[in-house]
Amino acid sequence: MVIQLDIISILLALELLVVLFAGCIILWFKFKKEKNKKPQVIIEKQKASLSTPKDSLDSSYEDCLRSELKQLQDTMTGLPESQVGDVMDSRALLEVRQEFIKLELSAQDWLSDSDTHHEKLMEGIRLLLTHFNKLSDIGPDNTVVKDDEEKVDGSENYEDQLEYFKSVIDNQLNVMRALREKLAVAAGSEDGLSDEMKELMGHLEQAEKQAIELGRCVEVLEEENERLRQDTGSQQDVAVAGEVKSNDEVMEDIGGMESMVSNQQETISKLKGLLDDLALEASKAEELEDLIGHIQRANKELSGCIMVLEDENTMLRSEMERLRNNLSAILLANNEAGDDSELQYKNESLSKKMESLKSMIDIKDTTIGELQQKVEALKSEYMTATGKMPDIGEDE
């Protein structure tokens, strides 16, 4: 009875162990499945939070400019109206900056054509400068400032304007760099940048290059302003030519300078083309040298073959002449001796041999003609490659 109870206890324990083991296996598979599923869900959530529509990425820079424009307008709302002729107060400067941001927004439509983009920006900056200068010519009483009495020095106005535009361009560069940093942070949790982000980064790089180019244009204007100021200082001692150049004349000078730069760029492009051609010719020099060597070797070999064939033909003609003389002697002896079968046999044998030699001579003459044609073709090819006739062939 005790043994039977022990067996039942053992069986119950085994069943319990089997159930526990099966439960552990089920829990292990479930845990593994959840463990594999959880990172995928996290990745999908991160991608969903980081993914941005292509249109939104393309317009991020424009949105940044619009946001800057809105902040600028909000700032201007609390400022008093600028006094007429007071071009250096805060509101007047902010209005100029507002126009510049609008110009930058409209310039986004020309990104596909870099030349048009550059021309439109330069034209917009010139209009802003012209408008700014017109404001500086108006006094507080809405009258135009007269010469030598109330007129402000044009070079000083230009310096202030150029310094302001340099600060505006620097600000735009800072905005674009900040946007680039935000994109880099957003893409930092992924293995790499998506195609949309790469495209947007490319747009930002292009915009940064254009802003840097604008900075260079402002530097050119600054140099022109310095030159005009020096010219004005030197002209003050001259009674007749004492006037400062107008804005239109300054712009004409800048346009002429841009034309000179364009002509220099065209000249540089032509020089680069010539250098590329020279590099190409240099790369072909070794190939041309090999070709000339091949032509020279082939010409020597063909010339040697022709000389050998001509020597063989000379020997064959001599042999043929000897056989002809023998045949004549046999015919003469045949006529003197009467009908002789042996002499007739020799006569026929010599005739066949002469025909064979004649055929060989004709074949060799044909071969010589073909080889001479090949030699002439090689000479023409050599002359095309070197520009001169080869000094090999006949005299070797």
- The answer to whether residues 90 and 211 belong to one domain is yes
Q: Could you tell me if residue 281 is inside a domain?
A: no
- The answer to whether residues 7 and 60 belong to one domain is no
Beta strands in 196-355 (DSSP E): none
Q: Could you tell me if residue 259 is inside a domain?
A: no
Residue 352 main-chain phi, psi, to 5 deg: -65, -40
- The answer to whether residues 295 and 372 belong to one domain is yes
Q: Which residue among 221, 245, 269 closes a domain?
A: 245
Q: Could you tell me if residue 266 is inside a domain?
A: no
- The answer to whether residues 171 and 225 belong to one domain is yes
Give how many domains the chain has, as a whole number.
3
- The answer to whether residues 64 and 179 belong to one domain is yes
- The answer to whether residues 125 and 146 belong to one domain is yes
- The answer to whether residues 86 and 197 belong to one domain is yes
Give the tokens for residue 49.
């939070």
In tens digits, what is the pLDDT along the chain, a chain of 396 residues? 556 566 777 777 777 778 887 888 888 877 777 766 655 555 565 555 544 454 454 467 778 888 888 888 888 877 766 554 444 567 777 887 888 888 888 877 777 777 777 787 788 887 777 766 665 554 444 444 444 444 445 555 556 666 666 666 676 666 667 666 766 665 664 555 566 666 666 766 766 776 677 667 767 766 766 666 665 555 444 433 344 444 555 455 445 444 544 444 454 454 445 445 544 555 555 666 666 666 666 667 766 677 776 777 778 778 778 877 877 777 777 666 655 566 666 667 777 777 777 777 777 778 777 777 777 777 777 677 666 666 554 444
The answer to whether residues 176 and 61 touch, using CB atoms and an 8 Å cutoff, is yes
Q: Could you tell me if residue 31 is inside a domain?
A: yes
Q: Which residue among 213, 245, 277 closes a domain?
A: 245
Nearest C-alpha neighbor of 221 from the set 247, 260, 242: 247
- The answer to whether residues 140 and 229 belong to one domain is yes
Neighbours of 104 (CB within 10 A): 23
Domain that holds residue 179: 55-245
Q: What is the dihedral of CA 287, 291, 297, 301, to 10 degrees?
A: 150
Q: Could you tell me if residue 265 is inside a domain?
A: no
For residue 264, the model assigns a pLDDT of 42
- The answer to whether residues 124 and 202 belong to one domain is yes
Q: At what angle do helices 154-186 and 195-235 cross, to 10 degrees?
A: 170
Q: Which residue among 217, 245, 273 closes a domain?
A: 245
Q: Could you tell me if residue 136 is inside a domain?
A: yes
CA distance 197 to 203: 10
Q: Could you tell me if residue 263 is inside a domain?
A: no
- The answer to whether residues 74 and 212 belong to one domain is yes
For residue 29, the model assigns a pLDDT of 78
For residue 291, the model assigns a pLDDT of 64
Nearest C-alpha neighbor of 170 from the set 221, 227, 117, 211: 211
| HEC secondary structure over 6-22 | HHHHHHHHHHHHHHHHH
Neighbours of 66 (CB within 10 A): 13
- The answer to whether residues 10 and 155 belong to one domain is no
- The answer to whether residues 39 and 65 belong to one domain is no
Give the tokens for residue 343.
């002499």
For residue 144, the model assigns a pLDDT of 44
Q: Could you tell me if residue 253 is inside a domain?
A: no
Give the tokens for residue 65.
């400019």
